[in-house]
Amino acid sequence: TQLLEQSPQFLSIQEGENLTVYCNSSSVFSSLQWYRQEPGEGPVLLVTVVTGGEVKKLKRLTFQFGDARKDSSLHITAAQPGDTGLYLCAGATGTYKYIFGTGTRLKVLA
Amino acid sequence: ETGVTQTPRHLVMGMTNKKSLKCEQHLGHNAMYWYKQSAKKPLELMFVYNFKEQTENNSVPSRFSPECPNSSHLFLHLHTLQPEDSALYLCASSQDGTPEETQYFGPGTRLLVL
């Protein structure tokens, strides 16, 4: 069974702190996506990474895809309360073949 | 911004009831998905439709029956569910179903089976 493990599972930090969320698997993915989900809403796509070693930045968020395309990380600089939510990674192994990670629940305290 | 709507937002049903979940997308997409999100498990892909044809059924029990009458609408018909089927059911759509595409999710239907 393919699995995407995310760590940490829960994270509570103060506003202004930095954090990194990890997404790891033994499977190779053709692409990997990061989503954020807020209570009462569906996940919203943050980024898609496709190439091994790729780094993408979205304001204070930096996403990296592992060289072997098996893992990814999300780094948030100077976290803000608006970053609070459930962060999900999702790997694609083919058309219609998506595996979602176990999720990281982030709370940023003001 | 999402153009995917789901109704109802909340549903409570007994194990002998029959109900349907509805999803509608206004994005002109060709692929639509049903996902199950449980408290203790990762988001699970249940069904995929592309151009109204079912392309994936990830070993979902027959008490869940999808229907896609056109590329804008997707239903999930429920009958004789079990308490462990209680979860958030999410609908999503994407342009053509290729892996790098953005999937747009609806807000979900929170289902409680008593």
Strands B44-50 and B18-25 come out as unpaired
Average pLDDT over every residue of A80-108: 92
Are A103 and B42 inside 8 Å of each other by CB? yes
Q: Given CB atoms, is A103 within the 8 Å cutoff of chain B?
A: yes
Cis before residue B42, ω within 30 degrees of 0?
A: no
Contacts of B44 in chain A (CB under 8 A): 100
Give the DSSP letter of residue A27. Answer: S
pLDDT of A13 strictly over 70: yes
The predicted-structure confidence for A46-65, as pLDDT tens digits, reads as follows 999 999 999 999 999 999 99
Identify which of A86-90, B12-16, B98-102 has the greatest average pLDDT.
A86-90
Contacts of A43 in chain B (CB under 8 A): 43, 90, 105
Distance CA(A54)–CA(B59), nearest Å, equals: 34
**In angstroms, how far is the first alpha carbon of chain A from the final one?**
40
Give the rounded percent of residues in chain B with a pLDDT score beyond 90.
75
Distance CA(B81)–CA(B65), nearest Å, equals: 11
Contacts of B92 in chain A (CB under 8 A): 42
Task: Look at residue B85 and give its three-state secondary structure.
Answer: helix
Q: Given CB atoms, is A85 within the 8 Å cutoff of chain B?
A: no
Contacts of A95 (CB under 8 A, 6+ apart): B97, B98, B99
Query: Looking at chain A, which residue has its C-alpha nearest residue B104?
Result: A44
pLDDT of B33 strictly over 50: yes
In this structure, the number of other CB atoms found within 10 A of the CB of residue B23 comes to: 26
To the nearest whole number, what is the mean pLDDT of chain A? 94
CB-count exposure of residue A94 (10 Å: 0-12, 13-18, 19+): exposed
Average pLDDT over every residue of B43-70: 88
Instruction: List strand residue ranges (DSSP E) for chain B, in order.
Output: 4-7, 10-13, 18-25, 31-37, 44-50, 53-57, 64-70, 73-79, 87-94, 104-105, 109-113
pLDDT at residue A1, rounded to an integer: 61
B74: distance to nearest CA of chain A, Å? 16
Greatest pairwise CA separation for chain B in angstroms = 40
Q: Given CB atoms, is A4 within the 8 Å cutoff of chain B?
A: yes
Reported confidence tier of residue A36, pLDDT bands at 50, 70, 90: very high
Reported confidence tier of residue B10, pLDDT bands at 50, 70, 90: very high
In this structure, the number of other CB atoms found within 10 A of the CB of residue A17 comes to: 13
Are B97 and A95 inside 8 Å of each other by CB? yes
Which residue in A4, A43, A98 is closest to B45 by CB distance?
A98
Distance CA(B65)–CA(A36), nearest Å, equals: 29
Query: Looking at chain B, which residue has its C-alpha nearest residue A29?
Result: B99
Give me A55's structure tokens: 């780094």
